[in-house]
Structure 1
Amino acid sequence: MSKDRIIDRKHLLSLRRDKIRVNQKSFAEIVGMPVDTLRSYEQGRRLLTADKFREIKDCLGYREDSGSLRVMIDYLRITFKDVTDLDFFCQTYLYCPLSEFVSTDKKLMMYTHLWRRGDIWIFDYADKSQTGNYQITLQLSGAGCRQYELILEREGLTWEEALQKMYFERTDMKTTRVDIALDEMYLGYDNESEQLQLSDLITKVYQGELLYDRMDKWNYIGGGSLDIESGESNGISIYFGSRQSDMYFNFYEKRYELAKKEKMTVTESLEVFDIWNRYEIRLSQGKAHKWLEDFVGGVPIDDLSKGIIRQKLEVYDGNNEWGAYLPDSKWQRLFGDGMKVKLSTSPEAYSIERTIKWLVYQVSNSLKLVEEADRILNTTYLRLIMEAGELTEETENVLKQLSVSDIQFIEEELRKGA
């Protein structure tokens, strides 16, 4: 691998602005460089080599921490059956007013109208006031997910908190698709042999060392001799399952895609973006909604996502002296600590458990605030809130079916929220 490639100065600026978030003087101190030298790199008066860029990242600790997977939501589609006030919906769940969306006539997924805020899309019906059909579908592409994350960051919220609010407050909600992207981070120059090679996975399929029987079928494109210095190749892509099924995997060499997109070499792509491979999970319909239920129920996104892959794929590396399969160490490094997850798609009835979860995740802090206000002001607002509620026929039936296991669950949730 050549070590004297030139890195575009914009990547150094991006490193300081997006990853470190410090001023020029502080950044120069961190990486042990005179401010004038840093300024000359940023202004293009001095060429920034891949070697120098690598040294700067070493000073920031990136190579030491880059051996894991970075997990993100990369596509999301949720349908809401009854949204009569779209502006209220946008402000409550998307944290921006409807006025920030552009209205367009677009027929897609049986809808006749589209609201767009960048890549955050809301589909609805142009004639809803006449027909009374107030169903909408919220769709976030990969770019839309990143834009929504910026909004959440502004509001001081996480994906988990935002989706919890939707799930526990909207009984008309159904998740129909979610894509999860797991990026294998670059281990650094001269450590490529420790990275997982997709060409090795292909070989293991034919050798019987990659078991994918739970995924129905597999396929791949690309391969052959790949020059790491060239950005011309698209690299290898491996597919497990069918695009028409409710679970589908796509593993590909993301470094080649980034190199081609940014018109740089693969070496530069690795140094700038720190991504080796990408492992994508696409879930739809019942499995997508069950994934969301597990996520808002408190299962960390990395455990949940790695667990799905472990449940469906098993990768080995030869046999021991007794003939038993040996786990592949590179695969284990990436996915070995994820728990196995079963995405059951059986429907769940309304229950006391769901109500308790909603109270713990969404209401408990507010109730605690009211309780403290009552103590300080010598008021009875909390009692007023409790007395304002009433039992419906549906909730009366839930109470009649309470069991000892329900009580144990409630106690456990209350302990979590304490």
Structure 2
Amino acid sequence: MSDIGTSIKTTRKRLGIKAIDFAKEIGVTSSYLSMIESGNRKIPDNLKEEMLDLLAYYDANEKSLECIYDYIRISFPTHDVDSILKDILHIKKEFMYETATSQYGYVGMFKLDLIKCLYSEKGDDRGTLIEMSGKGCRQFESYLQARGKTWFDFFSDCERFKGRCTRIDIAINDYKSYVSIPTLLNKIFAGECVSKFRAFDFMGSGLIDSGEKNGVSIYLGSKSSDFYLCLYQKDYEQAKKLNIPIEDVEIKNRYELRLKNERAQELIRLIQESGMVSENVVAVLNNYVRFVDKGTQKAKKHWQVNKKWENLIGEMGKKLKLTTEPTEDFYEKSEAWVEKSVAPTLKMIQLADEELNRDKLNEMINNAEMSEEQEHKMMIYVSKVEDMIA
């Protein structure tokens, strides 16, 4: 095999490009590509240049590791909800739906689907709280994008209003499965994990008859503590949730840092000061856990770091960046509920109308009265993000 053929094949496989797809991209047959990669056919200069350029393009745009904010909770020592909406979230108040709540001891909240602003009674030192789930973070990113702002700007605004982060989840998405989560679990059982965490937990399930697996999750540290890690097979979770083949799920593994109270506030402070999310995430991981291979030394701290774990951390140091995935999809759960639970009944009435030569369905729709919350959802559906910005 020629050196150039070996290099092309190695790079193609590393990038996860199938031979048939690569051959199609460069306009040759799969058998011709095979001969090139095996060194049995000399590559014309123009084709070699095209192949190398294409591989370089795929390499530069390879999606392997990314980190995202997956949950945010920030408290403010103020009862001035209007200022929080206007100067922190930058969302016009009329686009937020107000409702009562007892969550965390608060009495009410303004929400735009999964973007929430909770408030307490006057004199209650809970003040005001912003909470966003993972999907809420993606929704809020559409407002940041429309304003030409970033998460750094958001946290700077929070700091200006003396906001304190009481919980932050940072998720690292692994598109290449740098490590095997079940293998890491086995290494913990074998004592091949060096960690500042004292406890761990895990979850896993499957089917006895078929041997089908439903994925493994590992929790390093107590889930009731101010900091713990969650490592799990995201592809199994999504395949089951969306009822799709596991190979169709892009994200293979997810590694989550979940911090509360002072731990959360300290991490945000370090990120804001350095301007780097990935650098601090990698530092935390390196400080708290490493997987090793059993050696001859008695003390496991002297054992060699497992190559795959070392490669994962190394790649994080080189490639990991904070990414955003803005979405303008609001109240998807409501639509999903209608599609699953209501639409079949509406279809039945529609078919009955056709058979009986009546118009009952349209009559029901025309006579229906929307609730205040439904009117709010309707306003969101037909509005542009840019129009909602304060």
Instruction: Please classify the TM superposition score into its range, dividing by the shorter chain length.
Output: 0.5 to 0.7
Q: Does 1:175 align with 2:165?
A: yes
> Is contact 1:78-1:176 (8 Å) kept?
yes
> Residue 222 of structure 1 aligns to a residue in which SS?
strand
Instruction: State the structure with bigger RCO (CA 8 A, min sep 6), 1 or 2.
Output: 2
Q: Does 1:222 align with 2:204?
A: yes
Q: Does 1:104 align with 2:99?
A: yes
Aligned pairs (5 A) from 1:342-357:
none
> Is contact 1:199-1:223 (8 Å) kept?
no
TM-score (norm 2): 0.61
Aligned pairs (5 A) from 1:251-266:
251-266=231-246
The structure 2 residue matched to 1:278, chosen from 245, 248, 254, is: 254
| Superposed structure 1 runs of 4+ greater than 6 Å apart | 30-33, 223-227, 320-323
CA spacing shift, 1:260–1:142, aligned 2, 3 Å: same
The structure 1 residue matched to 2:278, chosen from 302, 308, 311, is: 302
Letter in 2 for 1:151: Y
In structure 2, runs of 5+ residues without a counterpart are 1-23, 28-53, 318-390
> Is contact 2:106-2:126 (8 Å) kept?
no
Q: Distance in 2 between the 1:63 and 1:262 partners? A: 29
CA spacing shift, 1:310–1:109, aligned 2, 3 Å: same
Q: Distance in 2 between the 1:215 and 1:321 partners? A: 22
Instruction: Show the counterpart of 2:86.
Output: 91
Shift of residue 292 of structure 1?
A: 1.0
Letter in 2 for 1:180: I
Q: Distance in 2 between the 1:73 and 1:295 partners? A: 12
Letter in 2 for 1:294: L
> Residue 283 of structure 1 aligns to a residue in which SS?
strand
CA spacing shift, 1:262–1:224, aligned 2, 3 Å: closer
> Is contact 1:307-1:338 (8 Å) kept?
no
Aligned pairs (5 A) from 1:299-378:
299-319=275-295, 324-336=302-314
The structure 1 residue matched to 2:66, chosen from 59, 65, 70, is: 70
The structure 1 residue matched to 2:174, chosen from 159, 184, 190, is: 184
Could you list the per-position Cα deviations for residues 284-303 of structure 1 after superposition, in whole angstroms to 9, with x for gaps in the alignment?
01101111111111241111
Q: CA-atom RMSD, angstroms?
A: 3.2
TM-score (norm 1): 0.57
Shift of residue 207 of structure 1?
A: 2.5
Q: Does 1:240 align with 2:220?
A: yes
Q: Distance in 2 between the 1:321 and 1:106 partners? A: 57
> Is contact 2:72-2:168 (8 Å) kept?
yes
CA spacing shift, 1:66–1:333, aligned 2, 3 Å: farther
Aligned pairs (5 A) from 1:157-172:
157-167=149-159, 169-171=160-162
CA spacing shift, 1:67–1:144, aligned 2, 3 Å: closer
> Is contact 1:226-1:235 (8 Å) kept?
no
Shift of residue 109 of structure 1?
A: 0.5
Letter in 2 for 1:259: A
Q: Distance in 2 between the 1:185 and 1:296 partners? A: 27
Aligned pairs (5 A) from 1:118-197:
118-125=113-120, 127-128=121-122, 131=123, 135-167=127-159, 169-171=160-162, 173-186=163-176, 195-197=178-180
Shift of residue 118 of structure 1?
A: 1.2
CA spacing shift, 1:68–1:226, aligned 2, 3 Å: farther
Q: Distance in 2 between the 1:260 and 1:63 partners? A: 30
Shift of residue 318 of structure 1?
A: 4.1
Q: Distance in 2 between the 1:132 and 1:238 partners? A: 38
Instruction: Show the counterpart of 1:206.
Output: 189
Letter in 2 for 1:220: F
Shift of residue 336 of structure 1?
A: 3.4
> Is contact 1:31-1:60 (8 Å) kept?
no
CA spacing shift, 1:308–1:91, aligned 2, 3 Å: same
Shift of residue 99 of structure 1?
A: 1.3
CA spacing shift, 1:333–1:107, aligned 2, 3 Å: same
Shift of residue 134 of structure 1?
A: 8.0
In structure 1, runs of 5+ residues without a counterpart are 1-29, 34-57, 188-194, 340-418
